[in-house]
Structure 1
Amino acid sequence: MYKGQFHKWEWSKYNTRKGRSKNALMPAQSRAKKTRGNGADTTSHSHAATAHLDFDLPAAHTAFDTERRLSELTLARSPQTEHQALIARHANTMNLQLLHQNSEFRNVEHSLDAYKALISIWSPGDKPWKSSIPSPPASPTGSILQQVQQALCLFDRGQNAAGMQILDSVNGRIASALTITASSSSSSSSSSSSSLALTPQASAQAAATIPIEIIWDCYLAVPQLILTANRPELLSLFMDYLARYASITLSSEHPLTKISRHLANLTDAFSIHRRQTHLLAGGQPGQGPNNLETSQAEALNMLKMYIAKSWTLWLDLISEKRGRKDHVTIHLRRGYAVLMEEDLSEPGPGSSKLLSDFTSSLDESIEIRGEEATTARVLELEELLAKMYMPLFTPKKLAHAEKMLKSVLDKVDARLKEEGRGEREMRYNDRFLIFIVKHFLARIADYEGQMERGHKWRMESLRTDKKDGFWRQISEMVEKSLRADGRSEEADEIKRERNDLSLPQEQQLEGVGSAEH
């Protein structure tokens, strides 16, 4: 194996200190480098990634075919079958760069570099969290992240066929999103095959069309969700499909192609180490050779490092481009504070001054857009909160979030008492903050299956003596959300209360409270 690799690198046969020239350790220019085009990837992983992506075009897989592919990755096979699968796996990856000298760490670095380019170009958009992926009528509801969560729940219950059907639907949505991205890049310039080769303005326009569910769900949220569920083989399958389709639909220089390629290498590395350890341990976890167990642990740590650093990239770049008090920045910081900072003894970058920054953001937005538009904008982000963060909440994180939210209510209540202001004297910021906190507490209760407690918090969030335009706006949002979840009875309850009001239309629009109420 070493002879073959040295021959490909064209290294000198003898690399001894005695009698060697000063260039004896330098490899000659490889044939691959001589024939490489100007547009090829210039990273150290270019040749390895090209070999890794040398396969047939992906087709629409049936549930049976996807189940077969996933079953090939499971750890429940016999040692003999596992041994054959490993031999076949290594035979197909002979051209991959050998896993040595922190190759997984380099995959993390290259993935983050490509991810940074994606976030930087995408972040200035006015409504960046709005998905644009068309959803087929027969597909399950929810975002890509929510659908993967549904599949994991089905796997846990032993309903593998149903889980595979959802994963096939996810693959279809990914293919659709990448096709949209490719067509947008092509339309930006008919003379270039790479969006990054365009002018900065055209490049920004092309990259801005990338659906957020690809950038956020596929490259951060889904990996975090699957690792939390301890399903690394499924993560490898997911990233392999993403890398294959990106390499076909997009140029080799596109950030989506690069990050897909390196993440596929990273997840494959962990999956290989995991199966090797299991095979050589005779099916008993934790009893394999120390070097393989160490390799598996290192690969897993690299995946966790990628996720942690990706969160930091989002936080830093969005804060830099949009400002700490922008609504989107505040929205991201709230998720970071719950999902990534629960073990910190002091406030981290997400939770530090989050409450004061949120109220300041409302003040700034009201000056620019007015109260009604500000309410609509923030409520839209609140709806997206469930899609972006809820599937990632473990019981521990849910408890942490609930503790944080109740602490906010205590602080607001203490401040209002200190200022001597009752409900009718509350400012817009106080009313909105109290509503947001209670509404999210209701979502947490629903997520935990405690529907009565969720209903209680929801009604509490809408309970007020000031039934003005602001109240109507938030009650309509809650009603719409409940109907989307199929909870028409609770939605009708809110609608009846709103229809019973006799508030004049002029006062509704002006947000002025009625004395009768």
Structure 2
Amino acid sequence: MSDNDLNPISRPASRKQSCQPALSFHPQQSAPTGVVSSHAENAARVSIPTKPADWEAVKDIIEGLYIHNNVRLKDVIAAMQTAYRFRATARMYKAQFAKWNWHKYSTGPSVSSRQGGKDHSTRYGKKKKGIPRVFLAEVLRQDAETKQQLQTRLLEGEESRHLTTTMSAYRSFLLGWSEQDPRWRNATCFTKMGHYNSTMVSHFLGALIQLEQREYSHGGRLLRAAFLELEDLLLDGHVAAIWDCCVSVPQLAVNHGRSDILLTFLRYLSRLCTLRAPNHPLTNISRSTLALVEHLGTLSQISAYTTVAWRLWSDTMVALLGPDNISTLHTHRAYLLIQPEPDPTLVCRVLRDYDRLVDRAGATLGADNTTALSLEFDALLTQSRFTTPDPVTFDARLTRVLGKLVAKPGNAGLAPGRWTGLEDRQVYRGCWFLAAMYADAAGNEGRAAECRRAFLAAPEEGDWVQYALRMEEKLRADGKVGEAEEVKGKRLEAQLPRDIVEILDREEREMGGGG
């Protein structure tokens, strides 16, 4: 969903997937067997609230509709009965709103009320627009699917309540973001949600790898650096920050078997949000995610949570931007990348969607357009992760993309580090990474070394660290320790620059009593 969605990478897939022609991507088909209860079972059960706990279980859902999206009470009543089998009268709702101290409309005179018009100011002090009926229907349909997710065999009782709260927080954030950012309302298939720097996740992943290798000093420092990056991530406010903090990081912790580090991370994040940005959407989401993980206990249950979270996220992106939007497609790929064993059917569908979007970009924008070149690289990157591509075609496409980038007006004659286009630099280093990995897999040692040198000389920004982590891990797995150490040395220099090292050194001296 971000420009760089490689952040969830844990390990290369243990085996390549073979692809057959598949239909277009439908996220709802990806539910894990045995997690979601049957629709018939849900439909047969109608809930009439008789005690406070009945209302608390659906409080966040009602708040999202009635308060955040300004849906009329009669429509809320109908939606809750249809989507959730929750039946209550208007009088019961109003009595409960009073207990929750909800006041949707201002009691004091406003400009609109003095002029005889209706006052639409909410308790948040901002005028809220109603949402189109068609879009509301889509939201309710997806919320109904989310409700089914909550009836799981892994998550029951208290855990289900926390999952309900967390999923509602995700949905409210995405809908609120889409109302504020006009790109969501006027999106084309090539619209991206802006550049996003996922340095925090790079540090977190690097820390997990170093700890696995028993390099506790580097691992601890990288984990602390990830915490230092959280403040910048919080202030950035990018939509992908929510995904990274509350979905990618939990899945990475599961992949590496470190629920202890995940709890430390979420507790730090929750405290930071409360102190530095109490009104930021990430604050409520981090609290609910922490409560959820604290109640789950096992790594398999946390993994089930990340699957549910991804499905809600993906379904919402499809509803807001459409299934063929580039950010939607990146979201689908991000999910595949965080899975230890990706579903082959989903892999094939994503590959076909990328190929279709590449063809459309070439025909609409021109083959030399930055977006078209970036999409072609994304398609090659995805293909290299999950399939065994044809060597001649793959190398020819990589060479063509690199040639077009170097020859572009504004880039020609300049070192890549001086290119003004951020996306151009990103694709450039990514192409050399792919070329090095592919040459190494093909046994072409000379070509692999040449491409590796070009990658290490590329601008060390954005996703460079994540590529370096993958390259280092692959080299080490192949027994090429010297080459792996060379990449590692360069990576640590990029991840722990002098200013960060000075901060960490000072903190360690203070913790050690100033010695």
Sort the TM-score into its range (normalised by shorter chain). Answer: 0.3 to 0.5
Query: Comparing both chains, which one has the higher relative contact order based on Cα–Cα distances under 8 Å and sequence gaps of 6 or more?
Result: 2
**Over alpha carbons, which structure has the higher Rg?**
1
